[in-house]
Every structure is written in structure tokens, then in C-alpha cells.
Structure 1
Amino acid sequence: MDKTYHIDVIFKQIPLLRDFVYHYVAYKELYSRGRGPEGEEKFWTYIVNAHLSQAIINWVTVFEVVSDQSRWNRMDLKLDPKRKTREEFVSDLLTHIQFTEQEWKQYWNEVSEFRDKFVAYGDILFEKPAAYLDIAYKAARFYDRWIREQVNGILIMD
């Protein structure tokens, strides 16, 4: 087995990516349906917000650049010559989401700030709108596909 993939990291990231997608899709679907039945608006607002919050937490957990083992930068992307380097991966990701590196950093900072100040700490003075997750979704789908391509034949993934 190719240990340069840090299989333990993959096993942590795949469920986080999956859960991000589930919460994001649930958020989008429920939000598009409005406030819910009369008399239950508050309940459905909490449900919608919970899905948005959890989606943001999961996405930032994977894409945050820190030393935690569940983060994407923990994948050893300096692989054998047939596989892509870290720089090639980042370049492909940016091309896929149609962002420059600076735009990616700014977007990540906005989502992360929303997570830190609103979702995690409930800063009552934080007044920025909720983070838009369309780019986060595209990045997560790209990364999921990339992982599956890289481990094809090494791991069986469902």
C-alpha cells in the first residue's frame, strides 16, 4: 500500500467531505422552500441554520491549513512521478473553481471568519452575511474526485 497518501488522513477527510455535501444540500433545499409551515417557522429556521453551520464547520475542517490530521494540507502530495505535486493539485483546484490564489485565500478567510465569529463563538457584534458555499461545494467535489483518482487501485472507496 502506498503510505505516502497518509491513509489515516483520507479516512478522516472523506466522511468530512461527505457530511459537508449532505449538510450543504440539505441547507440549500430547505432554504429554498421558505420558512416552513405556519407556526413552525422558528423551528425550521433553526434547522436550516444548523445545516449551514455544520456545512461550514466540516468544510473549514478539511480545507484549513493547520497541523490537525484531518486537514487537506496533511496529505503528502509529493507523490510518485505519475501523480501530482502539491503545487499541481492547488493549481488544478484553482482552475476548477476559477479563482486566483489570492481570491482563494480571501474566500477561505471569509468562510473561516464566519465559522469562527458566528458559528463557533456567536459573536453578537458580527454582522456580515452568511458565507456563500457554492465555491466551497465546487472545491469539495473537486477534492473528493482527486482523492478517488489518486487512491484508485489502492483503496476501495464507496
Structure 2
Amino acid sequence: MKFISVSDDEFNIIQHQNIIMKDFVCHYLSYKRFHSKRDELKGEKGFWVHTVNAHIMVCFNFWCMIFGSENNNNLHWKNLNFNIENIQNVFEEKLLKELSLTQNEWKNLRRSIITFRNKYIAHRDIGYKEPVPYLDNAYKAIIIYSNWLREDVLVYSDMLVSGVTLEQIASLHENMIDQTLIHIVGDNQLQS
């Protein structure tokens, strides 16, 4: 592999993307865990409905910052070109392979997430009645992208790759959620 040149602008984009990806992962895991325990959460149920909804809604916004519309979005992954020929194809091939999706399935996934974000979260179109898209593959895409940047791009640049991985952050956040849930639902109910 040849040396990869990362410009100051691209490094700045990556730094912002890392924050967004971390926030996405933490909100997504919070949503999944709180949603799975929604019937056991102590206190006013309306509070938990709003809390869970807020976690999932912000996930759509964060995900679209990285994988959503390419127009007028400085943080979109396609704004990173480095000096790699066909870099977009290289990453998309890796993404599709690791997600076990076809190009058309990825396109449909992106479209459903972007549409939901645009028509329900950001603008609340009155006639919009589609169900909330599942974000399991969106979560995986964020992890794949983060790992790709770290393992396939930055390691071949003059940028120092250090710190915890997004997967390590996810694990730490899951532990934090579980420790919090012990106080909210009790230790016995948490194990189920």
C-alpha cells in the first residue's frame, strides 16, 4: 500500500466524524437497551417514551451526517478523497461485503433512513406514514467505516492512530447503560 496523504481539511473532517460516530453509537445503544427494558423502567412511562424516542431520532441525524445526502454536507464520507484512486469504490465494496448487502439493498437502506430523517424527524410531513427503519445495518456501517478509516487509511498516513476504537467505546457505553439500568429496573430484571 502506498502512502496516503491526509490534508488538514480531511483530518478536520475525520475528527468531526469521529465525534459524530461516537455519539451515534452511544445513542443507538442507549435506544436499544432502554427500548428492550421499556416495560420495566421505573417512573412515568411518558418520560421513558420521550427519552427512547429522542435517542433514536438523534441517531438518524448523526447517521445522515456521515452517510446521508452528499450535497451540502461537509462531513459526508465521500468528501474524503485522500490520494487513493477510486477510494469511494474501495470503501463501498468493503461495506457491502461486510454488511452482506447488494448495491441496491444499500441504496434502499440509505434512502429509507434519509427519507425518514427528512420527512419525519427534520420536517414532519403530515402525510408521511412509513415505519421507523431498522438501524442495525446503519450501526454496522458506522463501525465498518470507523474501522476502515483506522485500519485501511490512517495507518498508511502520517496521522497518529491512537486511542480506543469505536467498538471499545460501544462496549464501555453498554456497561455504563447496564450500570444505570440496575438503579432503574433492579438487578434481577436486568439479567433477562
Q: Name stretches of at least 5 consecutive residues in structure 1 with no aligned partner.
A: none
Q: C-alpha deviations, 1:32-84, integer Å up to 9, x for none?
A: 0024546611110000000000011100111122242211110115427xxx7
Q: Could you tell me which residue of structure 2 aligns to residue 28 of structure 1?
A: 32
8 Å CA contact 1:36–1:44 kept in 2: the answer is no
Shift of 1:2: 2.8
Identical-residue share of aligned pairs (%): 30
8 Å CA contact 2:5–2:82 kept in 1: the answer is no
Select 1:43's aligned residue among 47, 51, 59: 47
Q: Name stretches of at least 5 consecutive residues in structure 2 with no aligned partner.
A: 164-192
Q: Could you tell me which residue of structure 2 aligns to residue 69 of structure 1?
A: 74
Matched, 1:113 2:118: no
Matched, 1:154 2:159: yes
8 Å CA contact 2:5–2:83 kept in 1: the answer is no
Q: Which amino acid aligns with 1:45?
A: V
d(CA) in 2 for partners of 1:7, 1:133: 27
Select 2:144's aligned residue among 124, 142, 155: 142
d(CA) in 2 for partners of 1:50, 1:109: 21
Query: Normalising to structure 1: TM-score of the pair?
Result: 0.88
Q: Could you tell me which residue of structure 2 aligns to residue 2 of structure 1?
A: 5
How many residue pairs are counted as aligned between the two chains? 155
Q: C-alpha deviations, 1:59-110, integer Å up to 9, x for none?
A: 0111122242211110115427xxx732111111111111111111111010
8 Å CA contact 1:2–1:154 kept in 2: the answer is no
d(CA) in 2 for partners of 1:89, 1:78: 14
Query: Normalising to structure 2: TM-score of the pair?
Result: 0.74
Select 1:128's aligned residue among 112, 127, 130: 130
d(CA) in 1 for partners of 2:63, 2:13: 15
8 Å CA contact 1:35–1:44 kept in 2: the answer is no
Mean CA deviation greater in 66-75 or 46-55: 66-75
8 Å CA contact 1:62–1:71 kept in 2: the answer is yes
Q: Could you tell me which residue of structure 2 aligns to residue 99 of structure 1?
A: 101
What's the C-alpha RMSD, in Å, of the aligned pairs?
2.1
8 Å CA contact 1:97–1:138 kept in 2: the answer is yes
